[in-house]
A and B are shown apart, each in its own frame.
Chain A
């Protein structure tokens, strides 16, 4: 009993009985786990609803009862369905309603969406997360358009847990949350989220990697605003090193910010920080880097340690930076160069007159130098004492002697974390090493081909596109070079 095409109901919407059928259908299919059929049924239902909502009202007037409105329809449908039981069915219909809603009736719809997001049944959703994710995206963009991003954050946070199988799974909804936080200019809700290190990616995110890029891009921006530059750098680096064969604007912007944040955070170290890891896709070096010449020039003038040359470069490209909305970061780069220069002086001088400090670093006069040094001492980036009597600064060594119990605690915590990470990596390596494809290609074990096929370990975690079928199919399995890009060169994830 596939969709019964009753002629689209008249001005009053679709017949309720029809929907009952649909609900039943969906419930059965989701119990079976028949995802393909589900998709079919749901899209059909969506179409029908969409058509119904598209009908102009009978009277076409403003007052009174007009054609089916989105929220009106929805209210009717919602009455029929139970959130927990029919979550999956509702998702599709809700998203259609939302899309077809007009400005005035959207408010109600958004509220119901919020409620739905918070309370829907995760198990059902997980069968078919794409539609749900799409709903979230639409919801988020509407909230922004309405100018009330804050309200959207909470429901979305709850929504995330509906899709996630595990705690550390990245979904596309994460990017929406970050987007809302940025737009609302608040950081707190995202803080916990941004501290999570993801180890897995959900289906909806892997289908549309735009959201992964966006998550890291927005996340990086959020972190940069609270001056957590180290982690922001981490995020931008991830964003830029996502495998790619095509150019993405998101990556381009992320790369520009990567450069700026790297200069701010790690300008004191050698220039090699700027180099991206080996596994960055060639797209970056071939297409992106040439497009970022104002930024690469910034790098060279930064490392010339000359304040005035940096200033000239900045002035030269001020417009570019402005149009990229990066001026704030660029200013911070400028001040970070001065600080780096001062730090370098602490390594070579024991005492230095303020005047000479100003000259060497490129500041205007000794008062400015004094102010800056005081600020840096307070921040803790250098250790020094100023003697105002003779205008001298005396640089001291780091008084931290690493012999307190706090240090011990921090060290222990760090070591534990590192060991946990190491274990994780070990287990991942093991999984690959026991994969029969890998074993065949690396020829690591010297036993005959005949015996191989029977002895392949059962827990072959195939990295291919679900085309599984690895163990037990003998040498023919080697021809399954559909074992995707991941297996193409042995242990590539760890190169």
Chain B
């Protein structure tokens, strides 16, 4: 692979107008290299480019199917210059098996741009060469299959045909008024839209099926579909509400469904919930949900791979669980252990953390970072999670001590004395460590908070606040009783007259 030049004037998504592709645009608010325009109003901060991932793309994407695979590949392409071409090629290959023609066009365009930017002008035939060949995305860099208009038209036609057929079928069912077939018709229509990449219509169809659900199973099925589409749309509140709805369906909660089904549905629901919580930055709750997943029934390639479950769950748990919880629910948990096997690095990290080998743990975390930054859901939370893990490490390190030497501590955590002092200051002010820094002797002394004094001080403060508020209230009731309102009327005296400043 040729070396990537450090500056690439790459315009991403400058002119794409298809709102269905919104979910691939929105995560990146800005390409820091090109001063590109923002995506669809996403509140997330811009992500930096990832330089050294150690990711094997082909195996990485094997765990996903459908839109999940495509979105992940696009994310990687957007954020990793060195893997860009490969990712786009894989995406191109895959998208041909779906009806998603717009996606195809978009991927192709990006591929061409990337290729041109990479290998300079003139080294390749133009994108619209007249060769209608569907060359498979080979690993040879020099040849990009041209935009296959024929395929696109074909697929579009097929899609339209299928849509028509499904529509007429649905109409027939509706005229026959058989609930079950109407429901299935809606589902099929939704599936088709999903395949075409039209997410909003898919969501609509799936939601319409709700009225025709006759049994708990159907309700759950419908919920699962909606959840899937909502995840693609990143509509997390939807996800959460539908997960709750599914979980409260009587059949499911009573476990009267067949064993395998109920377990796999449970896993799916938990993973979806965990993902939504992760996206909302509620890490502890996310960790709890991921820990509820069961590896044997973890078959959700359209959301995330089993390894992802392990990574997300492990990382969130490490950042938010305290020692006993970590021990009980992660390290010695039989079900989650299987997940951790899938991600040995994370397992190492967790074990090191538990054994208080913070230096090693943090170093390993840094090594993992590039790969994690390429994960579509985790990328925005990586730095927060890392800070949380680091802080937790500091707190845990100091907890058994009455007095700790700052120099040792700094070397243990790979920082300088000054930086460590600053970090500790923040932690102390936050209240996570009860200690004082002795800057003269460079030591950290544990502080015993005198509860009695603290209580008195708080009580006095509370009393003052109460007095003040109560007086405000009494006076306010007098105001209201006398109908005192600042208003304008014809009398100039109530009008805002000039500055009453007398001095």
Contact = CB atoms under 8 A, between A and B. Distances in A.
B450 to A, nearest CB: 7
Given A414-B463, A417-B467, A325 B486 contact: no
A138 interface: no
A183 interface: yes
A170 B472 CA distance: 14
Interface in A472-495: 484-486, 492-494
Nearest to B441: A351
Contacts of B441: 351
Contact of A201 (B428, B478, B487, B501): B478
A23 B470 CA distance: 46
A397 interface: yes
Contacts of B484: 201, 205-206, 209, 212, 242-243
Contacts of B114: none
Given A411-B460, A425-B470, A485-B480, A198 B496 contact: no
A251 B428 contact: no
Contact of B479 (A179, A230, A242): A242
Interface residues of A, number: 78
Interface in B413-447: 424-425, 428-429, 436-441, 445
A206 B468 CA distance: 23
Interface residues of B, number: 53
A298 B230 CA distance: 43
A349 interface: yes
Interface in B484-503: 484-488, 491, 493-494, 496-503
Contacts of B428: 347-348
B476 interface: yes
Nearest to A181: B502
Contact of A199 (B425, B440, B474, B500): B474
B417 to A, nearest CB: 12
Given A249-B498, A349-B436, A421 B467 contact: yes
Contacts of A242: 479, 484, 486
A304 to B, nearest CB: 14
A128 interface: no
Interface string A232-254: 00100110011111111111010
B456 to A, nearest CB: 4
B466 interface: yes
Q: Which of A210, A422, A465 neighbours the largest number of chain B CB atoms within 10 Å of its CB?
A: A210
A478 to B, nearest CB: 20
Given A201-B478, A209-B494, A397 B450 contact: yes
Contacts of B464: 230, 414
Contacts of B436: 348-350, 395
A492 B480 contact: yes
B62 interface: no
Given A241-B476, A350-B438, A407-B456, 14 more contacts: A198-B478, A199-B474, A213-B486, A218-B502, A243-B480, A248-B496, A253-B501, A279-B476, A351-B438, A395-B436, A398-B457, A411-B460, A486-B480, A493-B477
Interface of B: 424-425, 428-429, 436-441, 445, 450, 452-453, 456-457, 459-460, 463-464, 466-468, 470-488, 491, 493-494, 496-503
